[in-house]
């Protein structure tokens, strides 16, 4: 896919220790439940079964993040979490993070990337659908810690 001018300036890299404060602050500001803790982020940074991605642009080191999980012996990767800074939304950060998550999954020879999303999260669902994700399976009842249901989406990686 050719990046639009808006997305061209966004770069995605692996998260480092120095990103921890930004990762935790964005997580706490974005999600009311199912938050990834500082200790969990810290473990994921070095884990073989996780990839923490960070989006940046010319003058901003940290614009958003995505967390991808891999399972040994599984060809399915899971996009566990994605968020961009509120002031950076609508500028291609989320798109760049998902594309990087897909690239990381392909690198690990995964054939699909899956994710869960709240049924009322219109912005995220629109984004996933635009990038080729399709809903599959039944609604997962009570998926989130606050009791909310989840839709499951999947993209077959080519």
Ligand X SMILES: CC(C)(COP(=O)(O)OP(=O)(O)OC[C@H]1O[C@@H](n2cnc3c(N)ncnc32)[C@H](O)[C@@H]1OP(=O)(O)O)[C@@H](O)C(=O)NCCC(=O)NCCS
Which residues from 22-81 bind ligand X, rule CB under 6 A? 30, 64, 81
> Is 82 a binder of ligand X (CB under 6 A)?
yes
> Is 90 a binder of ligand X (CB under 6 A)?
yes
Q: In residues, how long is the chain?
A: 158
Residues with Cβ < 8 Å from 70, sequence gap 6 or more? 48, 49, 50, 51, 77, 78, 105, 108, 110
Residues with Cβ < 8 Å from 138, sequence gap 6 or more? none
Among 38, 42, 89, 152, binds ligand X (CB under 6 A): 89
- Judge whether 47 and 12 are in contact, CB under 8 Å: no
> Is 84 a binder of ligand X (CB under 6 A)?
yes
In the complex, least distance from residue 26 CB atom to ligand X, rounded to whole angstroms: 8
Nearer to ligand X (CB atom), residue 73 or residue 130: 130
Among 12, 41, 52, 94, binds ligand X (CB under 6 A): 94
DSSP of 30-51, one letter per residue?
A: H-SSSPPPHHHHHHHHH-TTEE
| Options 41-49, 103-111, 117-125, 139-147: segment touching ligand X (CB under 6 A) | 117-125
Among 35, 40, 74, 121, binds ligand X (CB under 6 A): 121
CA 54 to chain centre: 10
Nearer to ligand X (CB atom), residue 30 or residue 74: 30
Nearer to ligand X (CB atom), residue 70 or residue 153: 153
DSSP of 54-80, one letter per residue?
A: EEEETTEEEEEEEEEE--TT-SEEEEE
By the criterion CB under 6 A, which residues form the site for ligand X? 30, 64, 81-84, 88-95, 117, 121, 123-124, 126-127, 130
């Amino acid at each position: 896919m050719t990046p639009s001018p808006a997305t061209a300036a966004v770069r995605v890299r692996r998260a480092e220790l120095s990103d921890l404060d930004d990762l935790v602050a964005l997580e706490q500001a974005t999600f009311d439940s199912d938050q990834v803790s500082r200790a969990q982020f810290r473990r994921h940074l070095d884990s073989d079964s996780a990839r923490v991605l960070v989006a940046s642009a010319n003058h901003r080191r940290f614009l958003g993040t995505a967390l991808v999980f891999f399972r040994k012996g599984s060809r399915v990767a899971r996009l566990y979490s994605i968020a961009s800074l509120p002031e950076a939304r609508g500028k291609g950060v989320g798109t760049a993070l998902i594309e990087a998550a897909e690239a990381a999954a392909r690198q690990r020879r995964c054939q699909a990337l899956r994710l869960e999303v709240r049924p009322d999260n219109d912005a995220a669902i629109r984004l996933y659908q635009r990038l080729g994700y399709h809903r599959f399976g039944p609604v997962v009842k009570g998926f989130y810690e606050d009791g909310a249901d989840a839709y499951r989406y999947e993209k077959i990686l080519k």
